[in-house]
Structure 1
Amino acid sequence: MKRAERLSAILDLLAESNQVEVEDIVEKLAVSPATARRDLDSLASQRLLTRTRGGATIETVAYDLPVRYNKDNQTEHKRAIAQAASELIPRGAVIGLCGGTTSTAIASVLSTRRDLMEPSNKPTLTVVTNAINIAAQLAVRPNIKIMVTGGIVNPRSYELVGPYTDIILQNVALDFAFVGVNGLDPEVGPTVSDEGEAAVNALVARRAFAAYVVADSSKIGVRSFATMNGYVFSNLITDSGITQEQISAFEERGTNVIVAPPVEVD
């Protein structure tokens, strides 16, 4: 296993229980104790964990592990949601993608669509995003035009937030917007953990002809800190884990629910 792969694997172990011991790394990654300690020291120098006697913890780190290091047990569901979202997007559309793992999955699906890769004198797709990881992911596709909003980077999610973001978004018109969330409740609506991200998400949604919350079924019934004021929540794309009772609760409040069929994940 290469060093970069080991470091990522250690952060995966850390994300599972908020702490990891040298012995765990030795056993699960088949490395020596000296290598495990050096890897922990390297991650500590990047402030991705805090070293303890015999291991490491994230309890005293001043920020959450970035989304690319979070253990994601919903990959299959998010891939299904991403595929369903992609099928709504015609060639030539202008779309908004907020940050988050589900939106990143949408970007992955779009980056492999054959019709978007065909030669063209004009963009086959225009993507407006406040997520720098999504912009970097799509920037290698020459047919896709990328617009990054500007703003201050949230290190937890790679999303740009703040007044500079708002200024840019006030001057764009989107065909579709896809908004990721941390929680989704039929009564409260979509919520996220950061108030700055909530404000940007709401504005992106309002700038679109049609806006969709994209959330795997584990987010349903969960309430996070910040609501998306000014945004009328009317479309949801989720996975087959949603129950009929939950679908009915959303539909009774005027929300159109799209249940993505399962897809295979490599």
Structure 2
Amino acid sequence: MARNSIFQEERKLEVLKVLRDKKRIDVLEMCQKFDISPSTARNDLKELENEDIIKRTHGGAILKDHMDTEIPSTENEKAMINEKNAIAKKALDLINDGETIGISTGSSGYALAKKLVSKKNLTIITNDVKTACFLEQNTDFMIFIVGGIIRNKFHYIMNNANIPENISINKFFFSCNGFSVENGATISDMMLADNERIFLNLSQKRILLCDNSKMGITHFAQILPIDKINTIVTDKKISKKYLEQLKMFKSQVIISD
């Protein structure tokens, strides 16, 4: 992917974050925030409108009425891509051949899934359709996917009742929309948070994949508090101040290259 394309996808993600917090964004604000021209800002908004995420207004944009505060997977998986790949590479070192591995939905989990092709004899448990399809096509792993309803635009399955409680997971890798030392790992979807906790309670080790852009942010629903997380894998752009705060807790912190 060309570098300018990556910049555009990161801008679009930031635009959605502003809309989540402020409900609207202006072209002038985008120009000042990203150091871009008005035509570039309008082009970004046009693309988001074509994806049925926002509604353009005079001089700016608002979220579509049917959109909630979450960022669709099609946008999220393109942002912070270098950091997510570096985190996935580091997380791969934590996985041993023959283990039962859980992978939650999200772009960070999918980045990890793509690196699992080097492993052998894994059993994979996931609620993410895209992750399951990739591993089914590229590995000979045993793959268990939870049944239920696929959430539109997010490609994960919603149905807590279909998660068996008599299984044991060696390591469960999960991500979040926000992470803070006060509130732990949080996301916007309460049903998904409940779903994730069931998996995590069945796991011997709970490993959070969290890039620096999520640090210091709290969303609506808590997945796990920090003292329940065994390991946090993040990227080298995490602030020194926040890293020092994390070291005050018992969770192992691993920094990617």
Question: Is the shorter-chain TM-score for this pair beyond 0.5, marking a shared fold?
Answer: yes
Whole-Å Cα distance in 1 between the matches of residues 224 and 11 of structure 2? 36
Aligned equivalent of 2:247: 251
Whole-Å Cα distance in 2 between the matches of residues 28 and 138 of structure 1? 35
Do residues 89 (structure 1) and 84 (structure 2) align?
no
5+ long unaligned stretches in structure 1: 1-9, 30-36, 117-123, 262-266
Whole-Å Cα distance in 1 between the matches of residues 81 and 12 of structure 2? 19
Matched residue pairs, number?
Answer: 227
SS at match of 2:138: coil
User: For structure 1, which segment, 223-232 or 175-184, has the greater mean C-alpha deviation from structure 2 after superposition?
Assistant: 223-232
Aligned equivalent of 1:214: 209
SS at match of 1:210: strand
Rg comparison, structure with higher value: 1
With the length of structure 1 as denominator, give the TM-score of the two structures.
0.72
CA gap of 1:59–1:249, structure 2 versus 1, over 3 A, is same
The 5 Å alignment of 1:1-266 reads: 17=15, 48-49=52-53, 59-63=63-67, 66-70=72-76, 72-111=78-117, 113=118, 115-116=119-120, 124-165=121-162, 167-168=163-164, 170-228=165-223, 232-261=228-257
User: For structure 1, which segment, 177-186 or 155-164, has the greater mean C-alpha deviation from structure 2 after superposition?
Assistant: 155-164
Q: CA deviation at 1:73?
A: 3.3
Q: CA deviation at 1:253?
A: 2.4
5+ long unaligned stretches in structure 2: 1-7, 17-24, 28-37
Whole-Å Cα distance in 1 between the matches of residues 174 and 104 of structure 2? 5
CA gap of 1:257–1:70, structure 2 versus 1, over 3 A, is closer
With the length of structure 2 as denominator, give the TM-score of the two structures.
0.74
Whole-Å Cα distance in 2 between the matches of residues 80 and 15 of structure 1? 19
Whole-Å Cα distance in 2 between the matches of residues 180 and 136 of structure 1? 19
8 Å contact from structure 1 (residues 192, 225) kept in 2: yes
Q: CA deviation at 1:228?
A: 2.1
8 Å contact from structure 1 (residues 150, 164) kept in 2: no
CA gap of 1:61–1:11, structure 2 versus 1, over 3 A, is farther
Amino acid at match of 2:156: E
Amino acid at match of 1:77: E
Amino acid at match of 1:252: M
SS at match of 1:140: helix
